[in-house]
Amino acid sequence: MLRRNFIRMLGSTVLVWPALATGQTRKKVWRVAYLYPGSLANPADHAVFDVFRAEMKRLGYVEGQTLIIDDRSAEGKLERLPAFLTELIGLNPDVIVAVTTPAIAAAQRATSTIPIIMAPATDPIGSGFIKSFSHPGANITGMANMVGDSVGKAVELLHTIVPSAKRIAVLTSNNPTHPEQYQLAKTAANTLGLSAVQVVAPTLEDLEAAFERMKQESCDAVFVLGDVTRPTISGLAAKSKLPAVYQSSPFLALGALASYHPKIEAIYVKVAQYVDRIIKGANPADYPVEQPVVFELGVNLKTAAALGITIPDSVLARADRIIE
């Protein structure tokens, strides 16, 4: 009798155990909204997106199983951001990754409850995204990019590579941080005995007219402020035979003469780590904002040769990336 009861009990245990095991191994599927004002169709920008995805994978998330990333690209049309956010918020994301200041500002207006990761912001305190770096204070945290601190060095780099250039066009867009960035560039140029001309191209459609104005203004070179990638710029610079230095790394492969900026890959590894920490319960109000510690100087020798420019040895010795 005892033996019969024992076998019956053992059989019940075998039947129940798989159900218990299934319940224990079932994992939540986390949802991340990824909003970019530019276009992920640009290979260089998609490569940055892939850095974020790769770090999420390294942290243990599997897309389609424990992670869904809903991405939207505004193709440079900032007016599309609010509609995209309405759509993304309707998908009930656990975290929003907002790429660059325009997307962060739009996300801030759209929600005060869903955690927002800045990826990155140019001036997060001045833009009203956070109260301080150590205690952000609301639902926004993430990375600052310190491009304001690098403007002077980028202008100096342009002067070192093209010392004959005395009149510099500073290309800006509808990015709300650009007026202040232009003033920094102008101050840096004046310090070097150069003059700076602000040339505004709010949208992609305005770029050809912007380069025509550079020609009318007798500009010798162009400094492109950090922004979403607009591939047309590098082609127009080449057509105009204007040496161009950029604050954005994707342009180097697109034909930039040189670039100087925070190392973008390191920023997006950090962005993924922020997402992971928020998912695991960190409060964005108390999770400190970080700034990049690694900056990257890149030069394109093919573009230099096409322009008849010899990159100084001092620049080549400091370069982190060289395209030959």
Q: For residue range 296-323, what is the model confidence (pLDDT) as tens digits?
A: 999 999 999 999 999 999 999 999 999 9
CB within 8 A of 143, min separation 6: which ones? 117, 118, 119, 120, 121, 267, 270, 271, 274, 289, 290, 291, 292
**Structure token pair of residue 147:** 């491009």
pLDDT of amino acid 147: 78
Cβ neighbours around 221 below 10 Å, total: 23
Cβ neighbours around 253 below 10 Å, total: 16
Nearest-angstrom CA–CA distance, 34 and 73 = 9
| Contact in structure between 173 and 229 (CB atoms under 8 Å) | no
| Contact in structure between 180 and 123 (CB atoms under 8 Å) | yes
**Structure token pair of residue 204:** 């992609």
> Which whole number is the average pLDDT over 96-112?
97
Specify the range with the lowest mean pLDDT, choosing from 6-20, 87-101, 257-271, 292-306.
6-20
CB within 8 A of 85, min separation 6: which ones? 33, 35, 96, 106, 107, 110, 111
pLDDT of amino acid 149: 77
Is the pLDDT assigned to residue 2 strictly greater than 70? Answer: no
Q: Which percentage of the chain shows pLDDT scores above 90?
A: 82
Q: Which percentage of the chain shows pLDDT scores above 70?
A: 92
Q: For residue range 23-53, what is the model confidence (pLDDT) as tens digits?
A: 444 569 999 999 999 999 989 899 999 999 9
Query: Mean pLDDT across the chain, nearest whole number?
Result: 91
> Which whole number is the average pLDDT over 57-81?
96
Q: Which residues pair with 298 in a beta bridge?
A: 259, 321
